[in-house]
Amino acid sequence: MILGGLATAVWLFISGQAGTVDGLFLLLTALLVAAVFLLYVAFMIHREMEAAAKPAPAPAKASAGAAAKAPAPVAQA
């Protein structure tokens, strides 16, 4: 989609259609589509880089003190 939007923008300039009102709106739409997909790809790459940088969490160990800290059951009347 990024390459398609940029190719459309270039084609509109080369063919001279970018000078018309319809061509201008088509040019803006093509560039907007390319920009949106480019931002999405950049966000996904950044998110994966953050996930790769974090160390794997250590498995939680069950402790005997956890059972003693549990709340007491509520008596029903």
Please give the structure tokens belonging to residue 47. 């998110």
Please give the structure tokens belonging to residue 18. 């970018």
* Alpha helices for the chain (secondary structure H): 2-15, 21-53, 65-68
Tell me the residue length of the chain. 77
What is the reported pLDDT for 70? 64
Q: pLDDT for 5-51, tens place per residue?
A: 999 999 999 999 999 999 999 999 999 999 999 999 999 999 999 98
Q: Where are the domains of the chain?
A: 2-53
Range 43-72 burial, b when 16+ CB lie within 10 A, else e: eeeeeeeeeeeeeeeeeeeeeeeeeeeeee
Q: pLDDT for 45-72, tens place per residue?
A: 999 999 888 876 777 776 655 555 667 7
Residues 6+ apart with CB under 8 A from 66: none
